[in-house]
A and B are shown apart, each in its own frame.
Chain A
């Protein structure tokens, strides 16, 4: 949760770095409204408070980045889980190294195949 709140606080500062990212052909207003609704309606007052503080530029940029994989309906399914949405938003700004997760996946598959991992 702390990480999610930090992400929300850091989000406006990430916008500058995201300027060179993939451009949007058009603004999906329904997606932007959905993102805003999920964050503003968060039960955690710190998230909902910050969500009200953030401006249209933030929501437009975030919607643009999310639109490459999600639509408004997908986002609204996360109502009640704003942390998941924040995690997704952060994921559009940073690509994490996946080597550790790939090692775990290989280990689980070895278990499945009966080989000792």
Chain B
């Protein structure tokens, strides 16, 4: 038996996501087919969500907020490292999770980067913060892809780090994606209980 609301909801989600990727491809400064193919990948969508949330929570503008975020991230990783069952459910391995844990020196450096002449997150910090999403190597690849398309800039510093600065386009497109889902999904359905993590 077909539930029309379910079908409409599914269509809305799919349409909004397709539109998101189409916008990225149209706005790309390079129309190389391989780059456009990468811009349509799930990892690009996921990293866009990361940048959208950074902006939505205003974490880059406030070093103290960034610190609280990183410490919470560290706690999550340490909990997963200690919990065999949860880690297995997520399909993650201890060595990979350990690569995502910030030392206190790295936390201070991340905060200092926000106060520099070219404020932003170091690429290595982004790789650590997204370690549960993808490996650092994949993270770098997605960042490079978004840079090639003109959505991010990487600024090399004298300290051998690369500060990643977003131009705001991917955050804007992601917000539009969410607005489109919100507007298109039929109203009046019973909300599902929140998923506990």
Interface residues, chain A, with chain B CB atoms under 8 Å away: 3-4, 66, 68-70, 74, 81, 83-84, 87-88, 91, 95-96, 98, 100-115
Q: Closest CB-CB distance, B141 to chain A, in whole Å?
A: 4
Assess the A114–B68 pair: CB atoms within 8 A: yes
Interface size for B (C-beta < 8 A) is 37
Assess the B133–A102 pair: CB atoms within 8 A: yes
B140: Cβ under 8 A from any A Cβ: yes
| A98-B132, A100-B89, A115-B57 known, 20 other contacts, Cβ within 8 Å | A69-B140, A84-B95, A87-B95, A87-B96, A88-B135, A91-B135, A96-B90, A100-B197, A101-B133, A102-B49, A102-B133, A103-B195, A104-B197, A105-B132, A105-B133, A108-B73, A111-B68, A112-B65, A113-B58, A113-B59
| Chain B interface mostly | helix
Assess the A68–B72 pair: CB atoms within 8 A: no
Interface string of B23-39 (1 = CB under 8 A from A): 00000000000000000
Interface residues, chain B, with chain A CB atoms under 8 Å away: 42, 46, 49-50, 53-54, 57-59, 65-70, 72-73, 76, 89-91, 93, 95-96, 99, 129-130, 132-135, 137-138, 140-141, 195, 197
Assess the A84–B96 pair: CB atoms within 8 A: yes
Assess the A108–B197 pair: CB atoms within 8 A: no
Which of these, B42, B53, B129, contacts A106 with CB under 8 Å? B53
Q: How far is the CA of A87 from the CA of B17 in the complex (A)?
A: 29
Assess the B133–A91 pair: CB atoms within 8 A: no
Assess the A109–B49 pair: CB atoms within 8 A: no
Could you say which residues of chain A place their CB within 8 Å of the CB of B69?
A: 108-109, 111-113
Could you say which residues of chain A place their CB within 8 Å of the CB of B93?
A: 3-4, 83-84, 87
